[in-house]
Structure 1
Amino acid sequence: MTCAQRLIQLLEAYGVDTAFGIPGVHTIELYRALGESRLRHVTPRHEQGAGFMADGHARASGKPAACFIITGPGMTNIATAMGQALADSVPMLVISSVNQRASLGRGQGRLHEMPHQRETLAGVSVFSHTLHDPEALPEVLARAFSIFDSARPGPVHIEIPLDVMGAPVSDAPVTPTRTYPPAPAPEALTKAAEWLGAAARPLVLLGGGTADAPDAARALVERLDAPAFTTINAKGVLGLDHPLDLGATASLPAARRLAREADVVLAIGTELGETDYDLVFDGGFVLDGRLIRVDIDPQQLGRNQAADLALLAEAGQAMTALTERLPESAGRDGAARAEAVHRELALAEDPELVPYAPLFTTLRQALPEAIVVGDSTGPVYAGNFLASLPAPRRWFNAATGFGTLGYGLPAALGAALACPDRPVVALVGDGGLQFVLGELGTARDLGRPVAVVIWNNDGYDEIRRYMAASEIPKLGVDLAAPDFQALAQAFACRYRRIADPATLGEALSSLNDTTSPLIVEVDAAGWADSL
């Protein structure tokens, strides 16, 4: 057995079922082993697409996928996708080749040679490791999956030198190591329950770390009768239109007043970063009450907001244990407090959001169970405020954290592979889609009825508006979009051009009529005129 064959065997044992990659001369040994395995292989058109697909697969399913990437340019190509996954705590296993051990660091000009490849990728990964000893592979993979299972996840990079890839290894039985996340300390739980039980105006902040425990999250906020902010990555964790859910509105004035008035704040599985709580970038999200933080990462407990009480624990366990220690709700008028904020915010009447509200009404009506995957584009920014989801892992995008363009389409394809029975919508702008047009070929190859909804406003409209507000000349933001209908034909995709909500609903309702992707081009100007 070779090291490459052992790797595939171990991935199967750990439950990995999908690998994204573009074969190259430095990774063909992996493909020799892959051909004999049960792993599904998907070929994107660019390594960045491989990373975004693995990201979407993990966000939709909660399980990591693998990426097989060549040395050098393959790794610099995937680095952006790794940066997005690291910023949003998304598990991803990146396996790359690297030149032979004897040549590393010598600058001999070998094919795909990259000085200090491991160190370069360490900046966008939880850890980056060079496998010098093929027999150490099980240990290194155990380290990776211990992070995926029991710590704050993110990309892990393992590079395998060419002479190690095909090296013989022992064929001892595969025994994957499984680790369990940390449980909350009883003493800390008791103190947290005391503070929360005595609070008159409690507030809960639910981050992406709660996505796998929606029942526990609902039980906790209902027991506390406390309004809750659910971050963009926690959308849906309280269910559809929950009366205590304030959504991702913490950057807005009425929501900030509520936060400041809270006497005890419980923040669970959230980094308390600016892309969730300070989208106006003015430092105005302030917590004056006692702050209790729960996080699986001890370092995160000390970042951004100082905690009065910090619990190192997995979110689901902590929420369940806290609920059990709390008395029955004391009637704190949580729903009334949340409703007062909603009335003051009046999001559906906000001039900035009004053009997009019918889009999300139509999406909910046409595809109520859909996973919506977004790029950095106007409708997605609006949806982060407006969209309400029935469950978590149904709404995610690149508008937070790293904030890259080109994410939406490939991540949607990864989600479609992870959840084949659920409709998937990629919500993208005409500018962002042009980063990854080649992945329409991957969409065609997969034969999944993914809807690609293109909000076409002829360029980078968000930056145009920033420039106008700052009295800066609008340079570099007016782009001529390609002929999307011709592109759809070239990639054997269905196509509809629409300019009003009713026609959009008709188009989306036909999504599952065939297995080919559906490209829906929304004329943004025509849409605005139709309202």
Structure 2
Amino acid sequence: MPDTRLTTGEYLVRLLESYGVELIFGIPGVHTVELYRGLPATKIRHVTPRHEQGAGFMADGYARVTGKPGVCFIVTGPGMTNIATAMGQAYADSVPMLVISAVNSRDQLAMGQGRLHELPAQRNLVAGVAAFSHTLLDPAQLPEVMARAFTVFNSARPRPVHIEIPLDIIVAEAQHLSTDAWPLPCRAAADPAAIARAATILKGAKRPMIVAGGGAADAAAEITAIAERLDALVFMTINGRGILKPGHALTMTGNLGMPPLLDALAASDAILAIGTEFGETEMYPEPKPLSFGGPLIRIDIDPAQIVTGLRADVPIVADATLAAASLLAALSETRKAGDGAARARAVREAVAAGLWPACRTHGKLMEIVARALPDAIVAGDQTEPVYAVNQIYQAPQVRSFFNSSTGYGTLGYGLPAAFGAKLGAPDRPSVCLIGDGGLQFSVQELASAVEAGIAVAVIIWNNSSYGEIKTFMAERDIPQIGVDIFTPDFLGLARALGCEASRPASLAEFESELKASVIRKVPTVIEIRAGSPFAESLAA
């Protein structure tokens, strides 16, 4: 008779499919192979990175573009320590990620017997970069634990969740369990009294300002309508770019640490902040204390965040879209006539006048990218081009511009994140902005992209050094040790890994390579050498 027994590993993938999971990033190992047994019975696609950190960064890029959790299957021990950095980046930027790992059998946990991949307490190790970390001690717990995880992703502040399954539980029988997804709680609506207080303040304001962060990405239509109704200036954080469409008259550029933005905050008589931490990583190159000229209204899904850092005069714990819709309904239907567009233009002009030369160089680079690849998703690393375009870039829509210069600040992020983004939005161009130093953290993922048929334009800014750190050391009269690094032949390396690769000599060649990248089936690696005639032409 055929074996009809359903193991917990097989049950798990069916349960994930019922929650809408379409893609899993993972590297099979002897402790996780049983998670793979049931995959052929589902429609879930599996992508194999070359390092668990790459798996996490791919899941991160996928999640940022889709708004859905990126899912990873990770081996016990070294797999979990490898992915911990990616979880840290996702935790800092509120990105939904589900990491499912194995762990030693229940009778072996914490015994210190030198088992394969054994850690004293694997769950404790990753708990600090997860909304929660759970050890599954019985198959019957899995439906409830999975519902908790997807409630975090759907109804709370999204962050990584880790579920570890002991080896004896993975093979335990689970055919008696339902594969139906649990109904998830609705997102939190705003307190009507708090909305009324906020509306009163904003209606009475003559110089209101809105600060919109990544937590407000799904409220773009409502925030745009509020801004236009109030004639309010709007600053979008890096993860909030695209909430207002490019060229909108009320948009401000720069970052909140720049004098024009600090002045705008101080001159505003009401500030509406939605889905933002006011993080110091937004204020490159030097964070500054913020001072507001009027009451601060703060909307956030996380009640702890709303009382962190800055005192809110009107704290509103709610989903950004629901709160913004309620606030819009409470405001007057009549659009305020005012000088908001003129004030926003003045801020943009003041920011432009104070920008450093690299902003002009890389601003031109991004103009060519936008012309060649309209509606592109841009995933960036920690590198000069990213720090520069963070000050001026206006994304074509939300969930289209993100990088590791925010939050945790991880090198090597941009390449796998761009791959994950492309998998999440296969019909849109995807671009990676990365430096030679950051690329060497994750260059092996080019092979996984070739294998998976992921077409991404990878733009390398090659200055043969950790350039930002080198400059930082020089400015402080610190010996520049460890920052001038050997860089390989990136074009030869890319071709050896199966990619297309070029070093354009002109703006026209650069644009041509970008356009070609979308019709290829593999990554297109485009190297720009700092100080080359082509790089100098960008600065002209």
Q: Smaller-chain TM-score range?
A: over 0.9
Partner of 2:52: 47
Distance, in Å, in 2 between the alignment partners of 1:11 and 1:178 is 14
| 1:353 positional shift | 1.5
Partner of 1:515: 521
- Letter matched to residue 177 of structure 1: P
1:110 aligns with 2:122: no
| 1:514 positional shift | 2.3
| 1:5 positional shift | 1.5
Distance, in Å, in 1 between the alignment partners of 2:484 and 2:361 is 21
Distance, in Å, in 2 between the alignment partners of 1:241 and 1:329 is 20
Q: Which runs of 5+ in 1 are unaligned?
A: none
1:529 aligns with 2:536: yes
Aligned equivalent of 1:143, options 128, 144, 148: 148
Q: Structure 1 residues 304, 501: CA separation in 2 closer, same or farther (over 3 Å shift)?
A: farther
Q: Are 1:348 and 1:354, in contact at CA under 8 Å, matched by a contact in 2? A: no
Pairwise mapping of residues 126-275 of structure 1 onto structure 2 (< 5 A)? 126-169=131-174, 170-275=176-281
Partner of 1:306: 311
Partner of 1:444: 450
Partner of 1:98: 103
| 1:348 positional shift | 8.7
Q: Structure 1 residues 490, 280: CA separation in 2 closer, same or farther (over 3 Å shift)?
A: closer
Q: Are 1:347 and 1:353, in contact at CA under 8 Å, matched by a contact in 2? A: no
Structure 1 vs Structure 2: percent identity of aligned residues?
Answer: 51
Distance, in Å, in 2 between the alignment partners of 1:29 and 1:363 is 44
Distance, in Å, in 1 between the alignment partners of 2:205 and 2:290 is 20
> What SS does the corresponding residue of 1:178 show, helix, strand or coil?
coil
- Letter matched to residue 400 of structure 1: T
| 1:513 positional shift | 3.3
Distance, in Å, in 2 between the alignment partners of 1:529 and 1:172 is 62
Distance, in Å, in 1 between the alignment partners of 2:180 and 2:369 is 45
Deviates more, 1:169-178 or 1:42-51: 169-178
> What SS does the corresponding residue of 1:310 show, helix, strand or coil?
strand
Distance, in Å, in 2 between the alignment partners of 1:367 and 1:310 is 40
| 1:3 positional shift | 1.1
Q: Could you report, residue by residue, the CA deviation over 1:470-524 in whole angstroms, capped at 9, with x for unpaired residues?
A: 1111111111211112112211111110254332112112112321210100112
- Letter matched to residue 361 of structure 1: E
Q: Are 1:57 and 1:416, in contact at CA under 8 Å, matched by a contact in 2? A: yes
- Letter matched to residue 518 of structure 1: T
Partner of 1:6: 11
Partner of 1:391: 397
| 1:349 positional shift | 6.0
Distance, in Å, in 1 between the alignment partners of 2:337 and 2:458 is 45
Q: Are 2:376 and 2:396, in contact at CA under 8 Å, matched by a contact in 1? A: no
Q: Are 2:231 and 2:339, in contact at CA under 8 Å, matched by a contact in 1? A: yes
| 1:247 positional shift | 3.6
Q: Structure 1 residues 300, 248: CA separation in 2 closer, same or farther (over 3 Å shift)?
A: farther
Pairwise mapping of residues 451-470 of structure 1 onto structure 2 (< 5 A)? 451-470=457-476
Partner of 2:130: 125
Partner of 1:401: 407
Aligned equivalent of 1:293, options 290, 298, 302: 298
Q: Are 2:528 and 2:535, in contact at CA under 8 Å, matched by a contact in 1? A: no
Aligned equivalent of 2:498, options 479, 492, 495: 492
- Letter matched to residue 524 of structure 1: A
Partner of 1:28: 33
Distance, in Å, in 1 between the alignment partners of 2:178 and 2:324 is 41
Q: Are 1:230 and 1:248, in contact at CA under 8 Å, matched by a contact in 2? A: no
Q: Structure 1 residues 347, 399: CA separation in 2 closer, same or farther (over 3 Å shift)?
A: farther
Aligned equivalent of 2:340, options 325, 334, 337: 334
Q: Could you report, residue by residue, the CA deviation over 1:385-439 in whole angstroms, capped at 9, with x for unpaired residues?
A: 1211120111111010000000011011101111111011111101000001110
| 1:56 positional shift | 0.3
Q: Structure 1 residues 491, 77: CA separation in 2 closer, same or farther (over 3 Å shift)?
A: same
Distance, in Å, in 2 between the alignment partners of 1:3 and 1:352 is 54
Q: Are 1:226 and 1:332, in contact at CA under 8 Å, matched by a contact in 2? A: no
Distance, in Å, in 2 between the alignment partners of 1:273 and 1:351 is 25
State the TM-score, normalizing by the size of structure 1.
0.98
State the TM-score, normalizing by the size of structure 2.
0.96
| 1:447 positional shift | 1.2
> What SS does the corresponding residue of 1:385 show, helix, strand or coil?
coil
| Equivalences, count | 530
- Letter matched to residue 117 of structure 1: Q
1:77 aligns with 2:82: yes
- Letter matched to residue 399 of structure 2: R
Q: Structure 1 residues 473, 175: CA separation in 2 closer, same or farther (over 3 Å shift)?
A: closer
Q: Could you report, residue by residue, the CA deviation over 1:126-146 in whole angstroms, capped at 9, with x for unpaired residues?
A: 110101111010000000001
Q: Which runs of 5+ in 2 are unaligned?
A: 1-5
Q: Are 2:253 and 2:351, in contact at CA under 8 Å, matched by a contact in 1? A: no
Q: Could you report, residue by residue, the CA deviation over 1:268-288 in whole angstroms, capped at 9, with x for unpaired residues?
A: 011111112x33444332224
- Letter matched to residue 428 of structure 1: I
- Letter matched to residue 420 of structure 2: G
| 1:312 positional shift | 0.8
Distance, in Å, in 2 between the alignment partners of 1:282 and 1:210 is 22
> What SS does the corresponding residue of 2:525 show, helix, strand or coil?
strand
| 1:212 positional shift | 1.4
Q: Are 1:375 and 1:427, in contact at CA under 8 Å, matched by a contact in 2? A: yes
- Letter matched to residue 266 of structure 1: L
| 1:36 positional shift | 2.0
Deviates more, 1:351-360 or 1:218-227: 351-360
Deviates more, 1:507-516 or 1:361-370: 507-516
- Letter matched to residue 343 of structure 1: E
Partner of 2:385: 379
Distance, in Å, in 2 between the alignment partners of 1:248 and 1:207 is 14
> What SS does the corresponding residue of 2:215 show, helix, strand or coil?
helix
Q: Are 1:97 and 1:159, in contact at CA under 8 Å, matched by a contact in 2? A: yes
| 1:354 positional shift | 1.9
| 1:163 positional shift | 0.5
Distance, in Å, in 2 between the alignment partners of 1:214 and 1:379 is 26
Distance, in Å, in 2 between the alignment partners of 1:332 and 1:50 is 49
Distance, in Å, in 1 between the alignment partners of 2:510 and 2:535 is 14
- Letter matched to residue 466 of structure 1: F
